Structure 1
Amino acid sequence: MTEPGRPGDDRSLGEIVSDVASDLSTLIKQEMDLAKVEMKEEVSKAGKGAGLLGGAGLAAHMMLLFLTLTVVFALDEAMPVWAAALIVTVVWAVVAGALAATGRTALKKSNPQLPKTQQTLKEDAAWARAQKS
């Protein structure tokens, strides 16, 4: 059998176009399969990383809890335990309030409407309408 594109290739133009379309379809399918495999691998890595970050968050929470208890016990040396606990609680309330205010300000500054994307979509629609006329 002769190679495609070489002299002596008996295929018609229609057969060649059909072969090219079939090969292109196979290539696209193989690329999609490769992308699926790569995506599964990356999602697996990301899942492991997220799990480790979750564990780190839990460990940091426990560390903060015990640090708080240590501060209460240290203050207990100079005052009643209820006063020490109250002072530490007020400090945590101030920290929580500051974080909440900062987070609220950041959320107010965010713009979930994606103005740049909306603008480019409008431009694309205008371009498509211009192509029709």
Structure 2
Amino acid sequence: MGSTGQDQDEPTVGQLVANASRDLSSLVRSEIELGKAELKKTAVAAGTGAGMFGGAAFLGLLAIILLSIAAAYGVSALGIHPALAFVIVAVLYLVIAAVLVLVGKNQLGKAKGPQRAIETSKESVEALRAIGKGD
């Protein structure tokens, strides 16, 4: 044994700290790589899902157009001139759109920002300023 009371095979504190730092750095890099791989897989799945929703929305729009034409011809079958039947269906859609706009506007009027979060943020800023001033 040496005069320091330490066996020559045992690492020094400095070596242990360096090893721990290196291992931690390696662990962080590995976690970042894992995160990147997971995000890439998630992004591909999200992109595929968004594409499917886009296709479904397009087909839904086509169906609405065809159903609108069918509704207009249905009204026309009641003996109303076809041009007037299409106008009736269009006016019906405009009334529905107006109701949706009014309901949406009412809901937006009720929406407020995150009041509690804003207040607590202001309080945190004031507390940090007080600490910075040494109060």
Normalising by structure 2, we get a TM-score of 0.80
Amino acid at match of 1:36: K
Taking the TM superposition and a 5 Å limit, the aligned residue runs for 1:90-129 are 90-111=91-112, 113-125=113-125, 128=128
Change (3 A) 1:33 1:66: same
In structure 1, the partner of 2:36 is 36
In structure 2, the partner of 1:65 is 65
Percent of residue pairs bearing the same amino acid type: 29
Change (3 A) 1:90 1:16: same
Counterpart CA distance in 1 for 2:9 and 2:110 is 66
In structure 1, the partner of 2:3 is none
1:54-74 alpha-carbon deviations (Å, 9 max, x no partner): 111111111010101001111
Amino acid at match of 1:80: H
Q: In structure 1, the residue corresponding to 2:80 is in which secondary structure?
A: coil
Change (3 A) 1:103 1:45: same
Tell me by how many angstroms 1:128 deviates.
4.6
Change (3 A) 1:81 1:108: same
Tell me by how many angstroms 1:126 deviates.
5.2
Query: Cα RMSD between the aligned structures?
Result: 2.1
Counterpart CA distance in 2 for 1:12 and 1:130 is 44
Amino acid at match of 1:116: R
1:71-109 alpha-carbon deviations (Å, 9 max, x no partner): 111111221112211110110001111111222222222
Q: Which runs of 5+ in 2 are unaligned?
A: 1-6
Tell me by how many angstroms 1:53 deviates.
0.6
Counterpart CA distance in 2 for 1:57 and 1:92 is 18
Taking the TM superposition and a 5 Å limit, the aligned residue runs for 1:40-59 are 40-59=40-59
Amino acid at match of 1:103: G
Tell me by how many angstroms 1:131 deviates.
6.2
Amino acid at match of 2:84: A
Higher-Rg member (1/2): 2
In structure 2, the partner of 1:16 is 16
Q: Which runs of 5+ in 1 are unaligned?
A: 1-6
The alignment of Structure 1 onto Structure 2 pairs a total of residues equal to: 126
